[in-house]
Amino acid sequence: MVDPAHSLFASLDEAPADPILGVAVSYKADPHPDKVDLGVGAYRTEEGKPYVFQVVRHVEQQLTNELLNLSINKEYLPIDGIPELKILTQRLLFGDCEAVNGERICSAQSISGTGALRVLANFIAIYLDTPKLIYLSKPTWTTHHRIFSSEGFSIREYPYWNTDSKTIDIHRLLSTLAIVEVIQRKQLIPFLDTAYQGFASGDLEKDAGTVRLFLQSGMEMFVAQSFAKNFGLYGERIGMVHMVCSSNSIAKVVLSNLKVVIRSMYSNPPKHGGQIVQRILSDAKLKADWQNELKNVAGRIVTMRQLLYEALIFLNTPGNWDHLQKQQGMFSFTGLSPDQCDRMTRHWHIYMLKNGRISLSGINMKNFDYVAKAIDDCVRTIPYEDSRI
């Protein structure tokens, strides 16, 4: 046996826990009966349980029956995934438009959103004659930094968040990017990561608005699309890579090179999750059932957001909490400082990120009042001026 001191790995230091997944580990290890997980990036039911869409259960049963009847199998998918899934996911995200109908969008199935980001980052690094420089919003997910830095990109940040108003800092954002117009003028390439279509408002069309705004500009662009959240298929790792090109002939060339990247990275994508999404999107009734379920899920999050806001107002909690109503989607940046977040966990057994972000799906009718009291206590015990910002 090799002496540990002379191990190939002796120079390695233990990496820090993932800031999001590490919260889940700590939560599970806590035996306290009133503990609350507000760090999870997955939807939870009113009972705090993981949720599987009923329409997904229905399709799962179909697939199981077909597998037992030997009418489907477990063979490899093509490198770029289920062929029918391309047009279905394009129409879901981009709508019924010229780019889709003219076959100007190069698409491939990916290993959820993170896999889509990695594939696109690698594709850009290898094939495109452009500066390896990317602007990421501040804040953003840590995986964005890791993925692009590992592919040799220089990373710059643009302002996104106003810590005082706890809303999007639209003036600084516009001054840096001026969104579509400046991106066109400076010949930047839009790269959009869409993981929550339907979760923000409950309306798939409305939540696709930003992507379609860029599409209408006529620019070529990259999009990473995930179905982990809006189908509840977290563990199935189903997503899509989309590249909007200037012509269908270019799109074909792009796809041929994209396949080379995928082949050397993971060969071909997982089959099961893709089959579920393909079945639902290709059947009018199943798709309608899914949309209704998604709307109900988004509606519960809106209700929890409102209840938390009203509870804080009732407690006369110091500070302005209007941002809870102005924000939308599964998450909320509460504005709590790292010290206040520490107290939320140590004293109240409420687990959340140190930047004050909470997942509203972890709040329910049984614990919203408890969470509000915890926030109230932390704000009063550790005033903002005394805490580490």
Which residue numbers are catalytic? 141, 193, 229
Q: Tokens 């929550």 identify what position?
A: 196
Q: Say how far apart CA 362 and CA 345 lie, in whole Å.
A: 14
- Any alpha helices (H) in 21-163, and if so which ranges? 21-29, 54-68, 83-94, 98-101, 112-127, 142-150
Q: Say how far apart CA 375 and CA 319 lie, in whole Å.
A: 11
Q: What is the DSSP string of 133-144?
A: EEEEEES--HHH
Q: What is the DSSP string of 196-233?
A: -TTTTTS-HHHHTHHHHHHHHTT--EEEEEE-TTTS--
Q: Say how far apart CA 210 and CA 215 lie, in whole Å.
A: 9
- Of the candidates 300, 262, 289, 297, the one whose C-alpha atom is nearest the C-alpha of residue 126 is 262
Farthest CA pair distance, the chain: 66
For residue 44, the SS3 value is strand
Q: Which residues contact 337 (CB under 8 A, 6 or more apart)?
A: 356, 382, 384, 387, 388, 389
- Residue 159 exposed, middle or buried by CB count within 10 Å (0-12, 13-18, 19+): middle
